[in-house]
Amino acid sequence: MKSLSVLGSTGSIGISTLSVVESFPDRYCIEALAAGLNLEALRPQIRKHQPSVVAVRRHEDAATLAGEFPGTRFTYGPEGLEEVACAEAADTIVAALVGSVGLAPTLAAIRAGKNIALANKETLVVAGDVVMAAARDAGIDILPVDSEHNAIHQALRVGPSDRVKRLILTASGGPFRTWSAEKIAHATLEETLNHPTWKMGPKITVDSATMMNKGLEIIEAHHLFGMPSEAIDVVVHPQSLVHSLVEYVDGTLIAQLSVNDMRFPIMYALAWPDRLDSPLPALDLAQVAQLTFEAPDPTRFPALRLARQALKAGGEMPAVMNAANEVAVAAFLEGACAFTDITVTVEAVMDQWAPQNRPLIDLEQALAADDEARHFAAEILN
């Protein structure tokens, strides 16, 4: 029986993870949960899985829940996240928090020797060198849950790592794949959140629309698989059924396909190196009939260029780029800026940071750069 802690249990990945646990009660149990403010979604999770400890964002919510569930210990805030991440009885941590808030607890879990099922891409974007060095020192596995990196992890098992030519990340293209630049400039929030193939939280859905999500994934792939930026490509695949590919030096392309349901990569990450008998429907290729691919448009979607620039600059720059993006996306979700202001803000913050960019040494430096970049972004948006 493998015991899990889930960071971000009320988000889309957290909910899918608990669904997988419920499908395999003889293999998995829940030791700890961490959520934010969505107590209505959290309460039934506590009733069903009876975790030993639960973390929420606010002290008053922890106190309220403690009165309702006397058999569970409740904690809160950043310290609560770290406590859930380092829960002694947990074997694996599912890191599914959204944004850079997931970095510190995930790094704490690594240092505590927990295996990581990673769905929080910002952890590696903000401090990839620090996190991967900690994982090597602890001798633990980081299994990617993002469908693209999960697909690459599977495809890399086909041949020797020194025979890999390039990684190819697939992108849905988001809701604005066929829109003109002029039309994108006037995109509404409702249009942005109308993703054509995936049901995700609002932040990642906006990132998909700008294609910043794919930019973050380029940086994440660099750290997970040790590949340089020039060996990581992106191709738009609207059907979202080919989740990514690996090209070997002999010209062979190995692709991973499945129904676009996040429970597939979650099952893989939790069971690795084993495979589970899936209760989910398999992909019917005859019914699919057609798979299409196209190159991304760097003019309409400049986020890919910005991410590659951040990766090339290294040091604090990826953390700065991510922080600016989080602030700008939050402003867009609140109706405080236009859709195209997101990448404009990110580029302006990166330009402002460039003269002071330094090599990244530790977590504290990454978080300080994150904090300062947020102030820059807020000033630009204001």
- Tell me: the pLDDT tens digits for 158-174? 999 999 999 999 999 99
Cα–Cα distance, 196 to 189 (Å, whole number): 15
> Could you give the C-alpha distances from 125 to 32, 95, 264, 301, in angstroms and in order?
26, 14, 24, 19
Average pLDDT rounded to a whole number, residues 133-148:
95
CA 382 to chain centroid, in Å, comes to 28
**Which SS3 state, helix, strand or coil, does residue 214 take?**
helix
User: How many distinct structural domains can be found in the chain?
Assistant: 1
DSSP state of 265: H
Residue 160 amino acid letter: P
Average confidence (pLDDT) over 88-94? 96
- Asked if the structure places residue 130 within a domain, the reply is yes
Report residue 37's pLDDT band, with 50, 70 and 90 as the boundaries: very high
| Residue 233 belongs to some domain of the structure | no
Mean pLDDT, the chain, whole residue set: 95
Say whether pLDDT at 99 is over 90.
no
Burial readout 235-273 (b: 16 or more C-beta within 10 A, e: otherwise): bbbbbbbbbbbbbbeeeeebbbbbebbbbbbbbbbbbbe
* CATH number of the domain encompassing residue 39: 3.40.50.720
Nearest CA among 104, 97, 100, 66 for reference residue 82: 104
Question: How crowded is residue 137: how many other Cβ atoms within 10 Å of its Cβ?
Answer: 10
pLDDT digit string, tens, across residues 251-265: 999 999 999 899 999
- Tell me phi and psi for residue 241, to 5 degrees: -110, -30
- Does residue 87 form part of some domain? yes
Residue 96 lies in a domain: yes
pLDDT per residue as tens digits for the range 60-82? 999 999 999 999 999 999 999 99
- Tell me which H or E stretch contains 256: strand 253-257
128 inside domain: yes
pLDDT tens-digit map of 116-131: 999 988 899 999 999 9
Predicted confidence at residue 19, as pLDDT, reads 97
Task: Tell whether 36 is covered by a domain.
Answer: yes
Reading the block at residue 14, the tokens are: 């957290």
- Quick one: what percent of the chain has pLDDT higher than 90? 93
Inside any domain, residue 173: no
User: What is the bridge-based pairing of β-strands 115-118 and 92-95?
Assistant: parallel
Q: Which amino acid is at 244?
A: S
Instruction: pLDDT band for 285, please (50, 70, 90 cuts).
Output: very high
Structural domain contains residue 351: no
- With 90 as the cut, is the pLDDT of residue 289 above it? no
Whole-number pLDDT of residue 122: 86
Query: Residues 182-237: pLDDT tens digits?
Result: 999 999 999 999 887 777 789 989 999 999 999 999 999 999 999 999 999 999 99
Whether 380 shows a pLDDT value over 80: the answer reads yes
Identify the pLDDT of residue 153: 98
The parent domain of residue 88 ranges over 2-140
State the Cα angle at 214 between 144 and 125, rounded to 5°: 60
Burial class (CB in 10 A: 0-12, 13-18, 19+), 167: buried
